[in-house]
């Protein structure tokens, strides 16, 4: 193999490795973002359910207007 061909192959191999590493990093970042968004949505739903239950309980509970 000619020296230039070996150098070109080395540069290509390095670029391919870097590209694969970047793809893996991006995939991992996307997975983390999706997990965070799913958790945020789940927590939001739980909070909204709790708030709705609290409003319903407050509407049903007798209101005390006088002192004992």
The band of 66, judged by pLDDT with boundaries at 50, 70 and 90, is: low
pTM of the model: 0.62
Measured on CA atoms in the order 40, 41, 45, 48, is the torsion positive or negative? positive
The band of 5, judged by pLDDT with boundaries at 50, 70 and 90, is: confident
Return the closest-CA partner of residue 12 out of 23, 2, 1, 4. Answer: 4
CA atoms in the 13 A half-sphere facing the CB of 55: 6
- Could you state, in order of their start, the residue ranges of all structural domains in the chain? 1-59
**10 Å Cβ neighbour count for 33?**
10
In this prediction, residue 29 carries a pLDDT of 98
**10 Å Cβ neighbour count for 5?**
9
Tokens of 26: 């991006």
């Amino acid at each position: 193999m000619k020296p230039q061909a070996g150098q070109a192959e080395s540069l290509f191999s390095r670029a391919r490795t870097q590209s694969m590493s970047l793809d893996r990093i991006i995939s991992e970042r996307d997975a983390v973002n999706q997990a965070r968004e799913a958790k945020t949505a789940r927590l939001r739903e739980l909070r909204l359910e709790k708030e709705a239950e609290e409003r319903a309980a407050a509407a049903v509970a007798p209101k005390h207007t006088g002192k004992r």
